[in-house]
Chain A
Amino acid sequence: MAENDVLRHDAGKERYMVELRNVSKIYHTPKGREIRAVDGVTLLVPKGKIFGVIGSSGAGKSTLIRLINVLERPTSGEVLIDGDDLLALPERELSRKRRSVGMIFQQFNLLESRTVFGNVALPMELAGVPKEERVKRAAKLIARVGLSDRIRQYPESLSGGQKQRVAIARALALSPKVLLSDEATSALDPANTEAILELIRTINRETGITVILITHEMDVVKSICDEVAIISGGKLVEQGPVREIFSRPKTEVAKEFIRTTVTTKLPSDLEEKLRKDPDGAEKAYLRIFFTADSEESPLIHAASEKFGDLFDIISSGIETSSGVKFGSEIISCPAGISAAAVAFLAARHVSSEVLGYV
């Protein structure tokens, strides 16, 4: 039994960089009410992967990520980084251990009193890395994130995207095994978001660093994550490879997040004409959602067979993520059969919503 445990533990050490086992974090409001910010979450993050954690506002994402480097101590549960039990360490050693976990934030959290160089060199300064090495490594990292020409400037003069690059260079300064990102792209415009995600992906590929990325945007997960966990109300509701989640979302929360990434827009002239009231309407407009299970053409085919050639495709957006096809489409049908159509689609695991009537 004991031997078995040792073996199991070693196996874990091989595979997982971060292991959260049944962790909970309970806050108490001043009035004595309990807030279960994180509630019995077990999260196993394989080495070298980009792992996404998605959830809506207040779901407990930030709390969860802060448990990983023990910025917050869990109320219960275990936290292991590369097999080391962080909760067993005294504060001093915990500080050292945190050097193997870099972190970036939505608000960048750069020091305004230090230049780009000064910011990137800071973690090495704290760790007592000799000056010469500090200078060399900081310059290399700054070049790596493409900011060599800004090395002597202060963060104030940088754009949001550039600030996040500095923060990434700083987070990598002590060659961590894990990079934690708490909504690192949420304050950036789409172009910068894409560039920062691209940078994280390349760094992950080049160095094999394990990345845990917190977000409330499914687009972020779709574009770089290998695996994703969905949390809601502090609980982990679904977890798996991104392609699996996209093709076979089990929970309503997961489906909802997927919808947000593929919402095909109504043509604007049509949008103005739509009414909520079906009375006397001629046509109904529906938005339907596909995943791998529910391929588009056979579906429309089946629908046409059942209802006659009554469906028109107004606009369609199909996307691919990790080789999985999914998307949404706006279709129209006679107003009278819209309820039947929704039921028909639902029976085939295709969710749909009536947008309005004309």
Chain B
Amino acid sequence: MFSAFTPMVLKLLWSATLETLYMTFASGFFGALFGIPLGVLLFTTRPGQIFEHKWLNHALSAIVNLGRSVPFVILLVAIIPFTMLLLGTFIGTTAAIVPLSVSAVPLVARLVEGALLDVPAGLTEAARSMGASKLQIVWKFLLPEATPSLINTMTITLVSLVNYSAMAGTVGGGGLGYVGIQWGYQTYNPPILIATIVILVIMVQAIQLTGDALVAHFRHRAR
């Protein structure tokens, strides 16, 4: 069985692992970059919040729902023209980051909105009573208080992205998903298939454990 792991295969698995990490974290970065502000807007434009704005809230919410309801496999294909426009190609790990980021943004946004909803409403009240400006309320109150939940948000997002990146891999994206399908399925080779699964499991575990440790570090509350 171990004869399956020739130096070439090992090298392949290694570079596939790096590709998966690259796709996951790069799209996680863009997901956070656009998703967190969007989530903050979703929350702050709700009724009774600092930037209350009915139709903007409805519009943003509808867009986010739309993004969340398109199955990733379909998004992967549907977004090809956009990726072409942006990068001139839709093949390769870098190109895969586009659909991955696009799917991460609405997920992050909803989770951030939820995290902010968990911040006690009294805090905004206290902030206003201190004469905080609206931006100060976001920066000095809401985001710091939601930090543990925001880290949780990113953990969930990264784990999803590990998953999605495997799917993206099948459409020429590379990474462990690609290797798993190509070597484990199409040229039937169970040891390699299992190896990709093991690596993915370890990756997800590592992300989860790191996330949990960070949450524990930032949470100063007994809950």
B136-A111 in contact (CB<8A): no
Nearest CB on A from B29, distance (A): 23
- Set B128, B136, B140, B145: member contacting A98, Cβ < 8 A: B128
- The residues of A that contact B125 with a CB separation of less than 8 Å are 71, 105, 109
Question: Chain A residue with minimal CB distance to B128?
Answer: A71
A99-B131 in contact (CB<8A): yes
Measured in the bound complex, the distance between the Cα atoms of B220 and A155 in whole Å is 8
Given contacts A103-B126, A156-B220, A156-B221, contact A111 B131 (CB under 8 A): no
A114 at the interface (CB under 8 A from B): yes
Given contacts A71-B125, A154-B220, contact A113 B144 (CB under 8 A): yes
Nearest CB on B from A227, distance (A): 23
- Set A105, A113, A174, A180: member contacting B122, Cβ < 8 A: A105
A99-B126 in contact (CB<8A): no
A233 at the interface (CB under 8 A from B): no
B130 at the interface (CB under 8 A from A): yes
Given contacts A122-B140, A126-B136, contact A112 B221 (CB under 8 A): yes
B133 at the interface (CB under 8 A from A): yes
Measured in the bound complex, the distance between the Cα atoms of B145 and A154 in whole Å is 13
B131-A96 in contact (CB<8A): yes
Within 8 A of B (CB), among A82-127: 92, 95-99, 101-103, 105, 107, 109, 111-114, 122-123, 125-127
Nearest CB on A from B79, distance (A): 37
B220-A98 in contact (CB<8A): no
Question: Chain B residue with minimal CB distance to A96?
Answer: B131
- Set A101, A111, A154: member contacting B129, Cβ < 8 A: A101
Q: Does more than half of chain B's interface fall in helix, strand or loop, or is it mixed?
A: helix
Nearest CB on A from B199, distance (A): 36
B222 at the interface (CB under 8 A from A): yes
B131-A127 in contact (CB<8A): yes
Measured in the bound complex, the distance between the Cα atoms of B220 and A112 in whole Å is 6
B218 at the interface (CB under 8 A from A): yes
Given contacts A126-B136, A154-B220, contact A111 B123 (CB under 8 A): yes
Measured in the bound complex, the distance between the Cα atoms of B221 and A101 in whole Å is 29
Given contacts A126-B132, A126-B140, contact A113 B126 (CB under 8 A): no
Within 8 A of A (CB), among B119-170: 120, 122-123, 125-126, 128-133, 136, 140-141, 144-145, 147
Nearest CB on B from A321, distance (A): 30
Measured in the bound complex, the distance between the Cα atoms of B174 and A209 in whole Å is 69
- Set A105, A126, A154, A170: member contacting B131, Cβ < 8 A: A126
Nearest CB on A from B118, distance (A): 11
Nearest CB on B from A228, distance (A): 23
A24 at the interface (CB under 8 A from B): no
Digitize A175-202: 1 where CB-to-B-CB distance is under 8 Å, 0 elsewhere. Answer: 0000010000000000000000000000
Given contacts A122-B140, A126-B136, contact A109 B131 (CB under 8 A): no
Nearest CB on B from A165, distance (A): 15
Nearest CB on B from A90, distance (A): 12
Within 8 A of A (CB), among B73-118: none
A92, A125, A180, most chain B CB atoms within 10 A = A125
- The residues of B that contact A92 with a CB separation of less than 8 Å are 133
B129-A98 in contact (CB<8A): yes
Nearest CB on A from B126, distance (A): 4
A71-B128, A123-B131 given; 17 more Cβ-contact pairs under 8 Å: A71-B129, A92-B133, A95-B128, A95-B131, A98-B129, A101-B129, A105-B126, A109-B126, A113-B145, A113-B218, A126-B130, A126-B133, A126-B136, A154-B221, A156-B221, A170-B130, A180-B129
Q: Using a CB–CB distance below 8 Å, which chain B residues touch chain A?
A: 120, 122-123, 125-126, 128-133, 136, 140-141, 144-145, 147, 218, 220-222
For this complex, 14 residue pairs linking A to B, each with C-beta atoms less than 8 Å apart, are: A71-B125, A95-B128, A95-B132, A103-B126, A103-B129, A109-B123, A109-B125, A109-B126, A125-B140, A126-B131, A126-B136, A156-B220, A174-B131, A180-B129
Q: Using a CB–CB distance below 8 Å, which chain A residues touch chain B?
A: 69, 71, 92, 95-99, 101-103, 105, 107, 109, 111-114, 122-123, 125-127, 154-156, 170, 174, 180
